[in-house]
Amino acid sequence: SAALYAGRARLNTLVLEKKKEGGQIALTSEVENYPGCLEGESGPSLIERMHKQVLHFGADFVYDEIESVVLEGSIKQLKGKKDVYKAKTIIVATGASSRPIGCENEKEFIGKGVSYCATCDGSFFEDFDIYVVGGGDTAVEEAMFLTKFGRNVTIIHRRDELRAAKSIQDKAFKNPKLKFMWDSTVKEVRGDGLLSSMVIENTKTGEQTVVEAD
C-alpha cells in the first residue's frame, strides 16, 4: 500500500522484500475480510493483483535481507546481504511471521511433521489425523482448510473457548471433520526422524496425555 501511494506520487520507489511479496497473507488460503476482495479470493491471488498495480505505477522490487540500518542524516542507508540501499525516506513495514508454539523438540521436527503453513503443506497430510494449535482467526481458518486433506482435524486450544471472530467460529463448529481439545497445550513432540507422538497437558489439571500418530 505504501509503495502504491509513493508510486502514484511519482516518487522513485523501491520495495525491499526478504523472500516474496505479501508477507503472511500470501500463506492465507481464503480472504473474506479485505475490502474489495473477489469471491473465492486467496492471499496469493490478492497479492498478485496488488503487485501488478504497484508495478504499473513505477515501483521496483528487490529481494534482499536487511541486516542493519543507518538512519542519521538526510540520506538513510539500508545494508542488506546483497547490497546497500540509500534513500531520503524509509517506510518500515515488516509485517509478521509465524510464531512457534515453543514446545520441546519443536525445531527438530519442522518439515518432518511440524508445519506453519496449511496451504503450503496441507496436501502432505492427506488422510492423516491433523492437529492445529491455537484459537484465533488464523488457527481456526487454517484448521478448516486442512479438513480438505485430513481424516480429522483437531484444534488444540489453551482456553475453553475460541478467540476467533464469531463468523469464523460459526463455520468451524458446523464442520463435521473439526474437533476441539480444550484447556490444552502441547508440551513436547517426539519421533524417530519423523514426528510420531506428542505430549498434551491440561492447563487446569496438569494431567498429561500422549497422542500417538495413527
Instruction: For residue range 90-126, list pLDDT tens digits in order.
Output: 999 887 777 899 999 999 998 899 998 888 788 889 9
Q: Catalytic residue, from 60, 83, 120, 160: name it.
A: 120
Q: For the chain, percent helix, then strand, then coil, each to nearest 5?
A: 25, 30, 45
Catalytic residue among 37, 64, 117, 129: 117
pTM value surpassing 0.75: no
Domain-wise residue ranges, the chain:
2-87, 107-212
Consecutive H or E run containing 194: strand 194-202
Catalytic residue among 37, 83, 103, 121: 121
Cα(25)–Cα(44) distance, integer angstroms = 7
Alpha-carbon distance of 116 to 42, in angstroms, equals 17
CA dist 150 and 156 (Å) reads: 15
Q: Active-site residue 121, yes or no?
A: yes
pLDDT digits over 56-90, tens only?
Answer: 999 999 999 999 999 999 999 999 999 999 999 99
Helix or strand or coil: residue 214?
Answer: coil
pLDDT at 30 > cutoff 90: no
Active-site residue flag, 117: yes
pLDDT in tens, 129-144: 999 999 999 999 999 9
Angstrom distance (rounded) from CA 42 to CA 31: 5
Q: pLDDT band for position 27 (50/70/90)?
A: low
Q: Is position 60 annotated as part of the catalytic site? A: no
In this structure, whether the domain defined by 2-87 belongs to CATH 3.40.50.20 is answered with no
Sign of the Cα pseudo-torsion (28, 29, 32, 34, in order): positive
Q: Do the two domains 2-87 and 107-212 of this chain adopt the same fold?
A: yes
pLDDT in tens, 150-205: 999 999 999 999 999 999 999 999 999 999 999 999 999 999 999 999 999 999 99
Query: According to the model, what pLDDT value does residue 22 have?
Result: 80
Task: Look up the CATH number of domain 107-212.
Answer: 3.50.50.60
